[in-house]
């Protein structure tokens, strides 16, 4: 794992980060109108209910937009660095960001992807997990260094 800037965790997002650390994708879902919502917050933007629960969505979606950063904003990130916004199949207006772990020549609007997880550590040695997206076709798109590290650990 490479040292990365840690995410800002607050009261509303802590369950999200805790689930990602367990390699689980969960989102808030309104108990009144059943709408999914992102980012996490105390009130439903559809019906104004304060009642909600954390529920696992399908983890599948399609690329709604993407960008490839060619500028290194930090030594922790390799360049180029693709970032996608994914439209979840569970609710058409629900968009989640994340990095893309597939080949960049496959990136296109509508590409079917599935949620995945990237374990990282910050400069202070604290562990956290980030949401990533990979092509849904099941191929192993991890970087060769990631596969080698996993094989050496087993």
Of the candidates 150, 116, 120, 149, which has an alpha carbon nearest to the alpha carbon of residue 134? 116
Predicted confidence (pLDDT) per residue in 16-72, tens digit: 999 999 999 999 999 999 999 999 999 999 999 999 999 999 999 999 999 999 988
Q: Kindly report the pTM of this predicted structure.
A: 0.83
Domain assignment present for residue 1? The answer is no
Same domain, 45 and 78: no
Same domain, 40 and 108: no
Looking at 56, 79, 95, which one is the last position of a domain? 56
Predicted confidence (pLDDT) per residue in 69-79, tens digit: 998 877 888 88
Buried b vs exposed e over 131-151: b needs ≥16 C-beta within 10 Å?
bbbbbeeeeebbeeeeeeeee
Same domain, 92 and 125: yes
Same domain, 62 and 50: no
Same domain, 97 and 149: yes
Domain assignment present for residue 122? The answer is yes
Domain assignment present for residue 33? The answer is yes
Question: What would the DSSP string read from start to end of the chain?
Answer: --B-PPP---TTTHHHHHHHHTT---EEEETTT--EESS--SS-TTT----EEEE----EEEEEEEEEE-S-SSTTS-SSEEEEEEEETT-TT-EEEEEE-S-GGG--TT-EEEEEEEEEE-TTS-EEEEEEEEETT----S-HHHHHHHHHH-
Same domain, 105 and 73: yes
Domain assignment present for residue 3? The answer is no
Count structural domains, the chain. 2
Domain assignment present for residue 99? The answer is yes
Predicted confidence (pLDDT) per residue in 130-139, tens digit: 999 999 986 4
Q: Which domain holds residue 20?
A: 9-56
């Amino acid at each position: 794992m490479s040292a990365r800037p840690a995410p800002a965790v607050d009261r509303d997002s802590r369950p999200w980060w805790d689930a990602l650390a367990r390699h689980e994708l969960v989102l808030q879902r309104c108990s009144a109108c059943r709408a999914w919502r992102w980012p996490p917050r105390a009130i439903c933007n559809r019906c104004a209910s304060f009642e909600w629960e954390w529920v696992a969505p399908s983890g599948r979606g399609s690329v709604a937009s993407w960008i490839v950063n060619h500028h290194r904003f930090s030594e922790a990130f390799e360049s180029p660095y693709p970032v996608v916004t994914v439209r979840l199949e569970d609710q058409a207006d629900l968009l989640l960001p994340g990095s893309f772990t597939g080949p960049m020549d496959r990136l296109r609007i509508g590409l079917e992807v599935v949620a995945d997880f990237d374990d990282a550590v910050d400069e202070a040695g604290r562990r956290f997990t980030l949401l990533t997206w990979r092509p849904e076709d099941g191929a192993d798109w991890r970087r060769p260094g990631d596969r080698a590290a996993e094989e050496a650990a087993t």
